Amino acid sequence: MTAYHGSCHCGRVKYRVVLDLARGTFKCNCSMCTKTRAWLAIVPPGDFTLLAGAFDLADYEFGAHRIHHTFCKHCGVRPFARATNASGEPGVAIRLHCLDDLDPAVLAAAPVAYFDGRNDDFGQAPAVTAHL
């Protein structure tokens, strides 16, 4: 487990997260992840601390309303999302490209799973993943 610091582009939103990238990351083909090219890792809420910018965040929900897609009201960057899975367990989806102190070589070595969110099948990878 490693502690990382993340932020939005303008720096108003800042957070600290503890995660183990060797446990895996994911990319999804749902409409939101596809359009924003999301590369994520889920952590329990206790491993995430918002350090600054609570009032600078806006929230967007769609579909099943299980994910709060947060974004900075000033620069538009989506540094993380708060989610509840189908079993009702909360989590925080960390956008890995928003981690300021993550070594690109460590990110490149992280395992990636693919989910077919477009068809609400999170146990199956979509047929095509190269574009994700």
Domain assignment of residue 102, yes or no: yes
Count of structural domains, the chain: 1
d(CA 77, CA 80): 9
124 within domain boundaries: no
Q: What residues make up the domain containing 7?
A: 2-119
Q: What is the pTM of this model?
A: 0.90
Structural domain includes residue 132: no
Residue 69's domain is classified under what CATH number? 2.170.150.70
CA atoms within 13 A on the CB side of 79: 31
According to the model, what pLDDT value does residue 24 have?
93
Give per-residue pLDDT as tens, 89-120.
899 999 999 999 999 999 999 999 998 888 87
Predicted pLDDT at 122? 79
Report if residue 131 sits inside a domain: no
Cβ-contact 24, 109 below 8 angstroms: no
- Count of CB atoms within 10 A of residue 3's CB? 11
pLDDT given for residue 114 in this prediction = 93
Does a structural domain hold residue 81? yes
pLDDT score, position 51: 98
130 within domain boundaries: no
In a domain, 93, yes or no: yes
pLDDT tens, position by position, 17-51:
999 999 999 999 988 889 999 999 999 999 999 99
> Residue 53 class from Cβ within 10 Å (0-12 exposed, 13-18 middle, 19+ buried)?
buried
Residue 12 falls inside a structural domain: yes
